[in-house]
Amino acid sequence: MSHLMEIRDLKITFGGLDALSGLNFHVDEGEIVSVIGPNGAGKTTFFNAITGLVDPTEGNILFDGESILGLDPHQVTGLGIARTFQNVRLFPNMTVLENIMVAQHCRTSQLVFGALLQTAAFKKEEQEIEERAKEVLAFFGSRLVGYRYDQPAFVLSYANRRRLEIARAMATQPRLMLLDEPVAGMNPMETAELTALIGRLRSEWGFTIVMIEHDMRVVRDVSDRVVVLDHGVPIAQGSYDEVSTNPDVVEAYLGRPAEDGT
Partner 1 sequence: MSATMTSSTASSSGSPKRAPVADQDWRKIGKWGGLCTLALVLVSLIGMPVGLDRRILIHPILSLGYLSLLWIPLMLGFVVSKQVKLEGVESPDPGGRDLLAGALTGLMGGVGMAVFMLALNTFNLRDPLVNWSPKLLELLNYGRGLGFGVVAWLLACCVLGLLGSAIHVVPADVRRVVSFSAFGLLGIAVLEGAIADLSEGFGLEFLTDSIYAKRGGVTVVWSIVLAVVIGVVSVLTKGRLKAAKANYSGLQGPERKRASRIIFVVTALLTIILPLFLGTIMNELLANVGLFLLLALGLNIVVGLAGILDLGYVAFFAVGGYTTAVLTSPDSPFFAPEMHFAVTLVIVVVFAGIVGLVIGAPVIRMRGDYLAIVTLGFGEIIRLLFMSDWLKPYFGGAQGITNVPGVDLGFITIKGTDPRSVFYLVLVFCALAIYISWRLQASRLGRAWMAIREDEKVAEAMGINTVNTKLLAFVVGAVLASFSGAILVAKVGSVFPNSFMILVSIIILVVVIVGGMGNIAGVLVGSFVLIGILGGPRQPGLLHEFQSFKLLIYGALLVFMMLQRPEGLVPSSRRSQELHQEEFLQDVWLKSEEHEAEEREAEVHAVEVGGAEGNNGGGA
Ligand X SMILES: Nc1ncnc2c1ncn2[C@@H]1O[C@H](COP(=O)(O)OP(=O)(O)O)[C@@H](O)[C@H]1O
Binds 143, which of partner 1, Mg ion, ligand X, none (CB < 5 to 8 A, cut-off by type)? partner 1
DSSP annotation of 205:
T
The nearest distance, CB 232 to partner 1, in angstroms, is 18
Binds 125, which of Mg ion, partner 1, ligand X, none (CB < 5 to 8 A, cut-off by type)? partner 1
Closest C-alpha among 209, 248, 230, 219 to residue 28: 209
52 binds ligand X, rule: CB under 6 A: no
Beta-carbon count within 10 A of 128 CB: 13
Binds partner 1 (CB under 8 A): choice among 19, 129, 198, 209: 129
Q: Which of residues 68-107 bind ligand X (CB under 6 A)?
A: none
84 binds Mg ion, rule: CB under 5 A: no
Q: How far apart are CA 166 and CA 178, in angstroms?
A: 10
Binds Mg ion (CB under 5 A): choice among 13, 86, 110, 151: 86
111 binds partner 1, rule: CB under 8 A: yes
Which are the contacts of 58, defined by CB distance < 8 A and separation ≥ 6? 9, 10, 11
Instruction: Report whether 20 contacts 12 (CB < 8 A).
Output: yes
Binds ligand X (CB under 6 A): choice among 40, 78, 185, 199: 40
Q: How far apart are CA 186 and CA 191, in angstroms?
A: 6
Q: Which of residues 2-21 bind ligand X (CB under 6 A)?
A: 14, 17, 19
| Interaction site with Mg ion (CB under 5 A) | 44, 86
